[in-house]
Amino acid sequence: MFEKDAQGDHLHPDTLAIRAGHQRTHEQEHSEPIFPTSSFVYESAAEAAAKFSGESPGNVYSRFTNPSVQTFEARLAAMEGAEACVATSSGMAAIMSTVLGLLEAGDEIVASRSLFGSTVSLFAKYFGKFGVVTHFVELSDLESWKAAMTSRTKLLFAETPSNPLSEIADIRALADIAHDHGAWLAIDNCFCTPALLRPIEHGADLVIHSATKYLDGQGRAIGGAVAGRADLVREVHGVVRTCGPSMSPFNAWIFTKGLETLGLRMRAHCDNALALAQWLEAHPGVERVHYSGLTSHPQHALAARQQSGFGAVLGVEVKGGREGAWSVIDATQLLSITGNLGDLKTTITHPATTTHGRLSDEQRDTAGITEGLIRIAVGLEHLEDIKRDLSRGLDAL
Ligand SMILES: *Cc1c(COP(=O)(O)O)cnc(C)c1O
């Protein structure tokens, strides 16, 4: 849908973000409409029967499909370069529906250790109960991925860059490992979005989104999506329409409008984040900054090759351990002290006692979550105001 213009030339993702997916109705509306309806009506009993059986295409019930949701799905698919996309009620619902749709008891997942906390619980605790076993490995250690593969491995799963230390997954290498074993690779593209990274171009089979983060970008709604190969997305959609974690039409409309400015916002987030990272790296109160945009980052070259920007989440180790970190956080007046990210508003959090607080000391050590580590998800306030807010605590260390 609109991936090529009338001359057959490929359209830029920034253009697709504004144009793809909208099927104009007979009202000739210019902006994308919302269809807040639970069901759809038919001209005749015969038409109803054909729609219900799937013999003729069209909407039946909004748990199955809804035009506002389809606009969002088609737009995101076009931006990711995916054959198909299904929207879900949250990012977690996207991951859950993927595993329910594609795996069965006895199958195995190999996943990065550096995953969103709820994703770790979903795999280890909930899917473990149903006989799907997950092996967790080091994100950037390809040998440990290979060593974890068995004849039962069906799915490889990673986030890149990782949260909060900005480790980078080599997507092409992971895709090769997956495909050599007849498995699929799914990449959670929450941190980069298709504005900076299109995992399918690097060999991934599926891309997972928490639309809650940058796709909306303004902290207004919870949603998710799975994009990728049509045959795989069809199975995931089967789960969504049967089990019910469908996206609401209203939220789909918010995310569709969010996508329109995604490229602009992500470039602005990246510019602010890089400038802030460079400033922090030179600050005497800071021991280390983890950000793949810095040349000091061990995987800077891979990030530069794979992504068109470095994202906006910084891991900042300050002097003075937990006390130092908390004093910097508590001295802020502008930044929001919250675990959320992907917002215009800059957020600041202490991972060791919040997002990673439930890990054991040993697990935190292996994950590199030190007591002095602060995570900053850089927003779009003016850079000088963000710096001044952080200086208050940093200068006192
Ligand atoms: C937030 C997040 C999720 C979960 O998304 P929800 O919309 O909160 O369900 C999954 N992966 C990553 C990387 C996230 O940051």
Domains observed in the chain? 13-259 (3.40.640.10), 262-394 (3.90.1150.10)
Report the sign of the C-alpha dihedral through residues 127, 128, 131, 134, in that order: positive
Mean pLDDT in residue range 210-224: 97
> E strands, the chain, where?
84-88, 108-112, 133-137, 153-159, 184-188, 206-210, 224-228, 286-290, 313-318, 336-337, 347-349, 373-377
Closest ligand 1 atom to residue 211 Cα is 7
In the reported structure, the alpha carbon of residue 330 is separated from the centroid of ligand 1 by a whole-number distance in angstroms of: 26
Mean pLDDT in residue range 263-288: 98
Residue nearest to ligand 1 atom 8, measured at CA: 91
Give the pLDDT of residue 7: 64
pTM: 0.96
Of 115-119, 195-199, 262-266, 392-396, the one with minimum mean pLDDT is 115-119
Say whether pLDDT at 341 is over 60. yes
Closest ligand 1 atom to residue 163 Cα is 13
Between strands 336-337 and 373-377, the pairing is unpaired
In the reported structure, the alpha carbon of residue 74 is separated from the centroid of ligand 1 by a whole-number distance in angstroms of: 21
Say whether pLDDT at 44 is over 90. yes
In the reported structure, the alpha carbon of residue 130 is separated from the centroid of ligand 1 by a whole-number distance in angstroms of: 22
Residues with CB under 6 A from ligand 1: 90-92, 116, 119, 159, 188, 190, 210, 212-213, 222, 224
Query: Band of the pLDDT at 6, cuts 50, 70, 90?
Result: low
